[in-house]
Amino acid sequence: MKKRILVANRGEIAIRLIRAIQELGYEAIAVYETPDEMSRHIRIADEAVLLGDGPRCDYLNIEKVIRAAKRSEACAIHPGYGFLAENPYFAKACEKTDIVFIGPTSDIIANLGNKVVARQIMAEAGIPMVPGTQTLKQGREGLAEALDFAGHYGYPIMLKATSGGGGRGIRRIESDAEMKEQIPIARAEALAAFNDDSVYLEKVIVNPKHVEVQILADSHGHTVHLGTRDCSIQRRNQKLVEIAPSMIKDKKLIDEICETAVRAAKAARYLNAGTVEFLIDQDMKYYFMEINTRVQVEHTVTEMITGIDIVRNQINIAFGKPLSFTQDDVQIRGHAIEVRINAEDPKNDFMPEGGKKVSVYRSTGGFGVRLDGFVYQGYIIPEVYDSLLVKLTVHGFTWDETVGRLKRCLQNFAIRGPKTTIPFYMNIANEKDFLSGDFDTSYIETHPHIFYYDEDSSEVGKLSRFIAEIQYRGENPFAK
């Protein structure tokens, strides 16, 4: 029998994983919840197992997922990103049942999932990082520690959930009064979201660039990096546009950051694919922020510029194989940009457009274009999951060529039914600071004009309106 791997995820990443599994000659087992019945990942898998009615709770149910793996005779599980990917108990449960967890060990996930423990490990290894506190003590003692730290570094100060992730659990504090008020609120929110009420403080780096380094580490002692990504274009600390490599021209600095990332990974005894995140301040000083112990949404841009299939390598590493290439074999070619096309209305505070039917879906294509999606014409977007429909990644030889390709693709991409982020990205692709590669995490705030577009008169709107009309009339436009 062929080796079988269970994919414990949904949406575009489930499809991405299934593709890699099938390309390796293995069989892919999908799992799903009832509200997700229409998802294409179920159709392309070799077998699909209904976990339950969900929503979300079954994708997160460790016992059910493991049971599905055993029943379908899967020998390994790939968790993707989100859901169980960074849950040390899930990795532990796999370790106990001899199912290969495609990722680092449960100990590594537990250590790095706790931002304070991760910082401790990095401090011991001499990795530069943002000044910060230990986990704050409860009650008045904790507040005293916080006010002391703020007194030393001055406001603004970042209050962070120790177990936070996905851009949540981070707040900027401007005064002693706010600190006093916000610590209990942050704790309560962290407890609800991450099942851990611990918080700590970091100095705020003002308008930094977010630069991260992709790492692959095998179980034979080889750790390599696949260069940098810039994910500075964010909203509420969540990434919207990702590029690779970083546009920072100082090659020495970039090499140093990449070497530091490898050192950080080694200090954590890292295994499998991971990402070391850094902030870079306006004086080009860099600071370790965290290590993400999973495949990331934006891994596609790195794959495009290196030609290295990160998911394939994750699977091979998990099965104990050594990396088939060395650091010297990793060559960065050209530039890549990824945009997350979400069913959201950017003008209405990115309100999700769940519940709507995709009445028209006409994707783009051509040279240097990659799509990672899972929806199709007629698909009804469930309200209970995130709103990512498709990731558009373009690759080009020069930056200008890559941006030109992005614009061409956004223009030719027609999605009707839900509002999407396509016209918003079109405005970014036409904006001069984006074109010059000069942006930091304040980009969205400082460029409010990117929210000005008219869906129906933009070129993006014109094409989808044209296709929608034909569709509704059931006519062949070329017959006339």
Binding site for ligand ADP (CB under 6 A): 81-82, 86, 130, 158, 164-167, 170, 202, 204-205, 208, 210, 234, 237-239, 277, 279, 289-290, 292, 296-298, 386, 441
Cβ closest to ligand ADP, residue 42 vs residue 190:
190
Q: Which does 170 bind (CB under 5 to 8 A by kind): Mg ion, ligand ADP, none?
A: ligand ADP
> Among the residues of 176-298, which ranges form H helices?
176-194, 251-267
Q: How many CB atoms lie within 10 A of CB 156?
A: 16
Angle between helices 11-23 and 310-318 (to 10 degrees): 70
Q: Which does 205 bind (CB under 5 to 8 A by kind): Mg ion, ligand ADP, none?
A: ligand ADP
What lies within 8 Å, CB to CB, of 230 at 6+ separation is 209, 210, 211, 242, 243, 244, 245, 246, 247, 248
What the block records as the tokens of 339 is 């945009």
Cβ closest to ligand ADP, residue 75 vs residue 116:
116
- Closest approach, Cβ 146 to Mg ion, in A, equals 22
Write the interaction track for Mg ion spanning residues 269-298; mark x where CB under 5 A is met and - where it is not. --------x---------------------
Cβ closest to ligand ADP, residue 278 vs residue 361:
278
Provide the 3-class DSSP secondary structure of residue 292.
Answer: strand
- Closest approach, Cβ 289 to Mg ion, in A, equals 6
Element (H, E) at 234: strand 223-235
Rounded Cα gap, residues 123 and 117, in angstroms: 10
Cβ closest to ligand ADP, residue 208 vs residue 245:
208
Rounded Cα gap, residues 465 and 480, in angstroms: 18
DSSP assignment of 338-398? EEEEESEEGGGTTEE-TT-B--EEE---STTEEEEE---TT-B--TTS--EEEEEEEEESS
Rounded Cα gap, residues 77 and 28, in angstroms: 10
For tokens 């070619």, the residue is: 333
Rounded Cα gap, residues 267 and 305, in angstroms: 27
What the block records as the tokens of 340 is 């997350």
Query: How many chain residues are in contact with Mg ion, going by CB under 5 A?
Result: 1
Cβ closest to ligand ADP, residue 31 vs residue 414:
31
Q: Which of 10, 294, 340, 416 is catalytic?
A: 294
- Closest approach, Cβ 340 to Mg ion, in A, equals 15
- Closest approach, Cβ 459 to ligand ADP, in A, equals 29
Residue closest to Mg ion (Cβ):
277
Residue closest to ligand ADP (Cβ):
165
Cβ closest to Mg ion, residue 27 vs residue 212:
212
Cβ closest to Mg ion, residue 291 vs residue 311:
291
Q: Which does 86 bind (CB under 5 to 8 A by kind): ligand ADP, Mg ion, none?
A: ligand ADP
Q: Which does 59 bind (CB under 5 to 8 A by kind): ligand ADP, Mg ion, none?
A: none
Question: End-to-end alpha-carbon separation of the chain, Å?
Answer: 55
Cβ closest to ligand ADP, residue 105 vs residue 342:
342
- Closest approach, Cβ 197 to Mg ion, in A, equals 20
- Closest approach, Cβ 115 to ligand ADP, in A, equals 7
- Closest approach, Cβ 9 to ligand ADP, in A, equals 10
- Known catalytic residue at 416: no
Q: Which does 72 bind (CB under 5 to 8 A by kind): Mg ion, ligand ADP, none?
A: none
Closest CA to 37 of 17, 53, 16: 53
Note whether 179 and 143 are within 8 A (CB): yes
Please return the burial class of 479, using the count of CB atoms within 10 Å of its CB with bins 0-12, 13-18 and 19+.
exposed
What the block records as the tokens of 43 is 């159709």
Closest CA to 415 of 476, 335, 339: 339
- Closest approach, Cβ 195 to ligand ADP, in A, equals 10
Rounded Cα gap, residues 469 and 480, in angstroms: 14
Provide the 3-class DSSP secondary structure of residue 58.
Answer: coil
Which residues are tagged catalytic? 294
Residues interacting with Mg ion, by CB under 5 A? 277
